[in-house]
Structure 1
Amino acid sequence: MRALAPDEVAQAFHAACLAELSALKPGNVHVFAAGHGMETAQFEAAAKAAAPALAAPGPVGRRVRAAVEASLAVAGCNTNLGIVLLCAPLAVAAEGGGPLEARLAQVLEGLNISDAEEAFRAIAAASPGGLGASAEADVRAPASVTLREAMALAADRDAIARQYVTGYADIFALGVPALAGGPLERRRIEDADLAFLATLPDSHIARKFGPGQAEAVRLEAVALRTRLEGLPPSERHAALLAFDASLKARGLNPGTSADLTVASIFAALIEERAAPITVG
């Protein structure tokens, strides 16, 4: 697969963010309903601001910090920290050429302490809900381990951190396959989000409300997926919207599932745009 130019990476990232907002992802902000004190306009502005920073040539950590700072400046709150943490390594991998998963593995293996320092500053600035402290790798203290090593310390409790350790195994096993087989339409994006929500207890919910609540929401998502099978589009939409309203009424935001969905879309778009160009 061919290497992508920075402008192509920026376009793919921006498109992935907007595509995710177009789908009805229960409990998250989307074009059908706001939520948790945030509107789609904030996410749209953050995506536009982050795209060039994420695609600017440089190491992963620098891209993370620049993209988060650009997003905070226009959105006024944390809208895309998880998205940026997941998409920065993919962006670097896309610019290297070759099979995406293999190139990504090389990028993750090459992360260093400088990447951790830059990412820690971004995480502290964004101040995500439920952020705690770790004696081994406190984001408010100078980094003493590489970014991948820091992620490994949180991998058992955070799905975003786990991707850094597993080579994005969940994204390539759950998200990308759900998007395959046709145009990047809203239903496929909703299926990708539900694949994460019904398989992985959402890390954002777990940080704020505990693992028991995250597991309860996962089981609700499993039941919803079963109920959606065979429903006509209007009834499917109504069922998703009802679950969306229920989660928001309880203050439950499965933000990690949404972040993983954006990264899956980004990966799928990279692979599509990096396909060899043939002259027929």
Structure 2
Amino acid sequence: MKPTREQIRRAYIDACYHEIDALKPGNVHRFADGHKMSAAQFFDSAQASATPIADPELAIGARILAAIRATRQKVETNTNLGIVLLCAPLAQAAERGGADLRANLDAVLALLDVEDARNAFAAIVLAQPGGLGSATRHDVAEEPAVTLLEAMREAADRDMIGRQYATGFADIFSGGFAAHAAAVQAGEEQMWPVVFVYLHYLSAFADSHIARKFGAARAEATRKKAAHILERVHALKDGTEREKLLLAFDAELKHDGINPGTSADLTVATLFALQLNLVLHIP
């Protein structure tokens, strides 16, 4: 089935909302704000950015820039740059219809051009993500000389979002999907499949946002702690006890200013891709 613009827009909003509804340690969620941001700002950002994300008239780079402009007009802070960078290609991939979202995504990534890079770079500069710094090659503050895919490939060894572009979103279609499926098959309900997706990313990879702001060692230490927390959450069956454990970890991370933003971005993209897959397979 070829999804409608409204189905894609709705799938994006649902993915953003479900992610904020889940207790994700260190990140903003409905249980606790943090990092001078609120859950309400993320809900507003989802609504503001949804229309350009799902606009079939816009190229991927143009969607990214329009979504960030709309977000900044609404909340005046960077709430969703990573989400938008990941979800714009997924939206365009879904518009191709058929049953294979991943193959569609490979096709749209291959068609990215320098104009996509120009618009995406402008969006990144506008969003002002924390710890961005500068790059020796393909710096976002400069005029791009390569396609967006080539620029992302250049960043792939230090940035998980760049890595997704370079690998056809392999971490999402493999690890993210598997973490969600395992949680559902284990009988997890409500927010818990989303929590397990988030903890999968946080425990499997050193979070790029943490690494940019605090260095690789701190990102790796957080990853190891998250792996320990994930084991304990699996062992606990009582939801209240799980929440206590996660809220304690959440408070610890926020006290130290640690925000695993990239893990949250990957979680949204995973939920969006799952939703799009469901729509594509509607008879």
- For normalisation by structure 2, the TM-score amounts to 0.95
SS of the aligned residue for 1:171 comes to helix
What is the letter of the counterpart of residue 118 of structure 1? Answer: N
Following TM superposition, by how much is the alpha carbon of 1:175 offset from its aligned partner in structure 2, in angstroms? 1.4
CA–CA distance in structure 2, aligned partners of residues 217 and 230 of structure 1: 20
Which residue pairs with 1:81 in the alignment? 81
Residue 177 of structure 2 is matched in structure 1 by 176
Match of 1:165 in 2: 166
* Distance of 2:20 and 2:175 partners within structure 1: 19
8 Å contact kept, 1:3–1:95: yes
After TM superposition, the structure 1 = structure 2 runs for residues 250-261 of structure 1, keeping only pairs within 5 Å, are 250-261=256-267
* One-letter code aligned to 2:19: E
- 1:273 shift after superposition: 1.5
Instruction: After TM superposition, list the pairs within 5 Å mapping 1:136-215 onto structure 2.
Output: 136-180=137-181, 181=184, 185-215=190-220
Q: Equivalent residue for 2:125? A: 124
- How many Å apart are 1:178 and its aligned residue? 2.1
Separation in 1, partners of 2:92, 2:77:
26
Match of 2:252 in 1: 246
Distance apart, 1:185 and its partner CA: 2.8
Counterpart position of 2:15: 16
Unpaired segments ≥5 residues, structure 2: none
- Which residue matches 1:97? 97
In the TM superposition, what whole-angstrom CA distance separates every residue of 1:44-101 from its partner, at most 9, and x where no partner exists?
1110010011101121000000001101110110000000000000000010012000
Q: What per-residue deviation string (whole Å, max 9, x for no partner) do you get for residues 188-222 of structure 1?
A: 00000000000000000000000000000000001
- 1:152 is aligned with what amino acid? R
The Cα shift of 1:179 comes to 2.1
Determine the C-alpha separation between the residues in 1 that align with 2:101 and 2:135: 32
Which amino acid is 1:114 matched to?
A: E
Give the drift of 1:142.
0.9
* One-letter code aligned to 1:49: A
Counterpart Cα distance in 1 of 2:201 and 2:243 = 18
| d(CA) in 1 for partners of 2:59, 2:270 | 21
The answer to whether 1:267 aligns with 2:269 is no
C-alpha deviation, 1:184, in angstroms: 7.1
Offset from partner CA, 1:123-151 (integer Å, 9 cap, x none): 00001001122232111111100001000
1:28-67 alignment to 2 at 5 Å?
28-57=27-56, 58-67=58-67
Superposed displacement of residue 7, structure 1 = 1.1
Cα distance in 2, alignment partners of residues 114 and 32 from structure 1: 40
Larger mean CA deviation between 184-193 and 141-150 belongs to 184-193
How many percent of aligned residue pairs carry the same amino acid? 49
Greater alpha carbon shift after TM alignment, 34-43 vs 222-231 = 222-231
Report the AA paired with residue 194 of structure 1: L
Distance 1:243 1:179 in 2: 21
Deviation at 1:242, TM superposition (A): 0.5
**How far is the alpha carbon of 1:118 from its aligned partner?**
0.4
Aligned-residue CA RMSD (Å):
1.1
| Aligned counterparts of 1:223 and 1:164: Cα–Cα separation in 2 | 29
What is the distance in 2 between the residues matched to 1:145 and 1:162? 17
Measured against aligned partners, the alpha-carbon deviations of 1:237-260 in whole angstroms (never above 9, x if no partner) come to 110111000000010000000000
- TM-score, with normalisation over the residues of structure 1? 0.96
One-letter amino acid of the structure 1 residue matched with residue 151 of structure 2? A
For 1:153, give the aligned amino acid. Answer: E
**Given residue 68 of structure 1, which amino acid in structure 2 is its aligned partner?**
I
With 224-233 and 10-19 compared, the bigger mean Cα shift is at 224-233
Instruction: Quickly say closer, same or farther: Cα 1:184–1:153, change in 2 above 3 A.
Output: farther
2:230 is the counterpart of 1:225: yes
- How many equivalent pairs are there? 276
Alpha-carbon contact 1:179-1:268 (below 8 Å) kept: no
Report the alpha carbon displacement of residue 230 of structure 1 after superposing the two structures with TM. 2.8
